[in-house]
Structure 1
Amino acid sequence: MIQPATPSWKLPAALAATLLVGAVLGWLADGHVAVGVALVAVAEVVLLLTRIGHQTPPMMATPAAASPLQHDRFMMRSRRIASSLRDLRNAASQLPDAVVLLDRQQQIRWFNHAAENLLGLRRPQDRGAPLQQRMAGSDLADWLRRGTQEPLSDIAAPGQADSQINVSMLPFGDHEQLLLARDISHLNRLEQIRRDFVANVSHELRTPLTVIHGYLELLDLEDVPELAPVLSEMRAQSKRMGQIVEDLLTLSRLETQHQVADERVPMASLLATVRKEAEALSQGRHRIVLESTAEADLLGSPKDLHSALSNLVSNAVRYTPTGGSITIRWQRVPDGAVYSVSDTGFGIPATHLARLTERFYRISSSRSRDSGGTGLGLSIVKHVLNLHQAQLQIDSTPGVGSTFACHFGHARLLTPGGSDDD
């Protein structure tokens, strides 16, 4: 028996509710409202198509058996579903993110207007065409050919050479796929403005801070003993501010680099230097051990690698209580070599691990300030490793300690004492 038709005034409300659900889900998923709306809208389109295919009353096969009232109700229901389908399709067509529905052969079934602008698709000629063939010569085509499930970040839009997009592929329906592409050009411009601002402000602050710190160093604390505590604190804070400025300038430089000038980095001497720096910072409060078995040098920037590796050691010294131990290791692994720093410090709760490399992110602000940290060290480490195609892995257990490991691939390893071409 066919269900009574839903009053027509309820259709806009149902559509609005559907899109609202998508917006809420998208907002919960890192603020991607448009993506949530797109997914729900396209899902509803496919659902409606399925209903059309499966809800045809049996009596339609034998029209003589259907009463005029049943026939009218069925036609009204069909028109209502078709109207809802058009509304959802129109809503999805107006989304700012590109949406492309692909079949199991990655042929284009449907796409919205944003896909025309960002991906250069054209209707009706591109419907049914293989997307990989249509995107030939672009980074997107290579990504589709590899069949990777990882999102593709910050590539030139095939349809707009001056725009950048992020692309992701989601499984959908019966072995179908949904390609989503988001225009991130405005975000990149804002990020460039932020980098320029930070770099300019840091440069402007460097000179006055240097002058202030210099005059504070000239003051003799014995001449004004009553001001000695104040002057000591001013010296410490001016020195810390100077270090923050230097770290910000380092970060600004690293963020604008796309590659490094490769040189041989002798690991034996670098490890010895890092250990001496750790012992100087520790001042005998910790047991510091160096284990080097890799027998390999690195190819990269000596200055940047020294900055990254020493940052990890200085962090271990700062956040390990007196009497603890710190172990520096350089060892071979099947896919390359690993530099790691293990400590018996406070440890880090798992909820913080994913954000540790964000600039100024701190687990405990007071502890970081007391230790003399700037909150930028791990961000510098991440950027240096990215420039050397290396990865940072963090393992930590609260109350037990932490291990920060830098994984370098075979391409970055050199035989000690050999030429730079080996």
Structure 2
Amino acid sequence: MTSSARSAWLRTLGLVGVPTGAGLLCGAIAHRPELGLAIGALAAVGWQMWRIASLVARLTQGRHARPDASADIYGEIERLLHRRQASTRLRKRRLVGMLRAYRAAATVLPDAVIVVERDSQRIVWFNEAGTTLLGLRYPNDIDASVVERLPGLPMASWLTRGRHAEPLEIASPLNGNITLSLRLLPYSDELWLLVARDVSRLLQLEQMRRDFVANVSHELRTPLTVLHGYLDMLDPSEQPEWAPMIAEMQRQSSRMTQLVEDLLTLSRLESRVDLPSEEVIPMAGMLAALRREALALSQGRHEIDVDDRADVDLFGSPKELHSAFSNLVANAVRYTPAGGRIRVTWETEIDMDGATGAALSVTDTGYGIPAAHLPRITERFYRVSTSRSRESGGTGLGLSIAKHVLNLHQARLDIRSDVGVGSTFSCHFGAARVRGRQPLEQIA
């Protein structure tokens, strides 16, 4: 307790005691001490009630006048409340100022920012870019359903996925030449933050890059084929001293040819929106083919296991999926030391929607991948160890190809790895891609 509060309590006790004592003294003089004490006590209580009523009136009326200067406990309470109110008003002004500053900053952002109620999907607020990119109008569209205000966009099904909603690329409702990337972010327990960004320029640059890579790869393909053909015609036995150089040129020529083929494959995958042809893929035959390829590449240096636990097949493009799975198996063989183990597993699982999906996993006991490299491991030409990748014959495009193939099949690639222990690359397919297994002769 502060000294001022202690003094206020003592003064209040004195103010209570004075009328009580005076009443008792007057009653004693009149030979009626009980009556005098009662009158004095009533006077003290009445004064207390008046002070309380005065304090309550000032609080309920919201007055901002200076507090009472009296030195009793009620004056002390009023002064404390006055300081608290002044501090609250100052904090409120600061918060309002910060809110205005944040809203002003959000207003001038080039990205459209829309605050949407989670349950009703109604618009609470949007910035100026919401008008220029999405055609929203203030104040007409405030409290309106975002699904109704953007009728040409698949908003209803996308919003229902909530925090699991993947970024959505759509054409602007105002200009079909503008491509928007929509993201849904949790803003609070009751609100979503819908952010729309113009990615037209980025997509244009990406398309230019793809065209450049495809054109260069096509131009390199023919001279590399000619060079590789001439190298194959050379007979090292005629000039033994040239044999090491010829072998090295053949190795580098083969590596460049494989690089060009992978670039063309990746360019073809990136330019596709959907798959050209799809069919039921017998996974028993697919697993057998992967095992044969792994054994051929390993040349007896590894233990190869295939575990078919799922009595289901896949629906998709056989060529593309074989390319993706083969790349994963080839990487496992290349980056696992001799004597290691590689295991290919095909099994059912429960997908994100609660239905029965399936997963193909390739597990090895290789070098492992440091955690810092995992987020970028599927980027084209990204290598954890450049020297090790070149020694093994990798192009740095296998995982990128696998990821694009899986994206075309609405699947995802999951990577887990421990340095010195090994890695597991898992391809997860939703229930829409799973089919009941049939005998091979029925599929044929």
**Shorter-chain TM band:** 0.7 to 0.9
Q: Note the C-alpha offset of 1:248.
A: 0.6
* Structure 1 match to 2:327: 311
Q: 1:145 to 1:349 in 2, by over 3 A?
A: closer
Q: Deviations over 1:164-199 (max 9, x none)?
A: 222223344684443221111111111111111111
Q: 1:60 to 1:88 in 2, by over 3 A?
A: farther
Q: Note the C-alpha offset of 1:151.
A: 4.5
Aligned residue runs from structure 1 range 338-377, under 5 A = 338-377=359-398
- Aligned 8 A contact 2:152 2:173 in 1: no
Q: 1:197 to 1:418 in 2, by over 3 A?
A: same
Q: Deviations over 1:238-265 (max 9, x none)?
A: 1000000000111111112222211232
| Secondary structure at the counterpart of residue 379 of structure 2 | coil
* Structure 2 match to 1:416: 438
The normalised TM-score by structure 2 is 0.72
Q: In 2, Cα distance between the equivalents of 1:168 and 1:225?
A: 64
Q: In 2, Cα distance between the equivalents of 1:330 and 1:174?
A: 39
Structure 1 residues 250-259 or 200-209, which shifts more? 250-259
* Structure 1 match to 2:112: 98
Q: Which residue, 213, 217, 223 being the options, matches 2:228?
A: 213
Q: In 2, Cα distance between the equivalents of 1:62 and 1:269?
A: 85
Matched, 1:138 2:153: yes
* Structure 2 match to 1:198: 213
Q: Note the C-alpha offset of 1:277.
A: 1.4
Q: Note the C-alpha offset of 1:315.
A: 0.9
Q: In 2, Cα distance between the equivalents of 1:402 and 1:83?
A: 52
Q: 1:251 to 1:133 in 2, by over 3 A?
A: same
Mark the runs of 5 or more structure 1 residues left unpaired by the alignment: 1-56, 67-74
Q: 1:332 to 1:132 in 2, by over 3 A?
A: closer
Q: In 2, Cα distance between the equivalents of 1:296 and 1:78?
A: 62
Count of aligned residue pairs for this structure pair:
361
Matched, 1:167 2:188: no
Q: Which residue, 289, 293, 296 being the options, matches 2:305?
A: 289
Q: Deviations over 1:127-153 (max 9, x none)?
A: 332323322341234323554453532
Q: Which residue, 119, 129, 133 being the options, matches 1:114?
A: 129
- Aligned 8 A contact 1:132 1:144 in 2: no
Q: 1:392 to 1:129 in 2, by over 3 A?
A: same
Q: In 2, Cα distance between the equivalents of 1:144 and 1:264?
A: 32
* Structure 1 match to 2:237: 222
Q: Which residue, 316, 320, 323 being the options, matches 1:300?
A: 316
1:354 maps to a residue whose letter is P
Q: Note the C-alpha offset of 1:116.
A: 0.3
Q: Deviations over 1:223-242 (max 9, x none)?
A: 22222222211110110000
Q: Deviations over 1:351-397 (max 9, x none)?
A: 22222211111110000000000101111111111222222222221
Structure 1 residues 164-173 or 113-122, which shifts more? 164-173
- Aligned 8 A contact 1:263 1:420 in 2: no
- Aligned 8 A contact 2:163 2:186 in 1: no
Q: Deviations over 1:285-314 (max 9, x none)?
A: 112122223233322212112111111111
Q: Which residue, 252, 256, 259 being the options, matches 1:241?
A: 256
Larger CA Rg, structure 1 vs 2 = 2
Matched, 1:125 2:147: no
Q: In 1, Cα distance between the equivalents of 2:295 and 2:91?
A: 80
Q: 1:84 to 1:59 in 2, by over 3 A?
A: farther
Q: Note the C-alpha offset of 1:80.
A: 10
| Secondary structure at the counterpart of residue 273 of structure 2 | coil
Q: 1:146 to 1:135 in 2, by over 3 A?
A: farther
| Secondary structure at the counterpart of residue 155 of structure 1 | strand
* Structure 2 match to 1:399: 420
Percent of residue pairs identical: 56
| Secondary structure at the counterpart of residue 162 of structure 1 | coil
Q: Note the C-alpha offset of 1:336.
A: 2.6
1:333 maps to a residue whose letter is E
- Aligned 8 A contact 1:167 1:180 in 2: yes
Give the aligned CA root-mean-square deviation in angstroms. Answer: 3.2
Q: In 2, Cα distance between the equivalents of 1:174 and 1:267?
A: 44
Q: 1:85 to 1:336 in 2, by over 3 A?
A: closer
* Structure 1 match to 2:348: 332
Structure 1 residues 357-366 or 146-155, which shifts more? 146-155
| Secondary structure at the counterpart of residue 160 of structure 1 | coil
1:381 maps to a residue whose letter is A
Q: In 1, Cα distance between the equivalents of 2:221 and 2:188?
A: 58
Q: In 2, Cα distance between the equivalents of 1:84 and 1:322?
A: 62
Aligned residue runs from structure 1 range 76-91, under 5 A = 89-91=103-105
Q: In 1, Cα distance between the equivalents of 2:280 and 2:247?
A: 42
Q: 1:332 to 1:110 in 2, by over 3 A?
A: closer
1:396 maps to a residue whose letter is S
1:363 maps to a residue whose letter is V
- Aligned 8 A contact 2:153 2:170 in 1: no
1:100 maps to a residue whose letter is I
- Aligned 8 A contact 1:119 1:160 in 2: no
Q: In 1, Cα distance between the equivalents of 2:189 and 2:337?
A: 57
| Secondary structure at the counterpart of residue 354 of structure 1 | helix
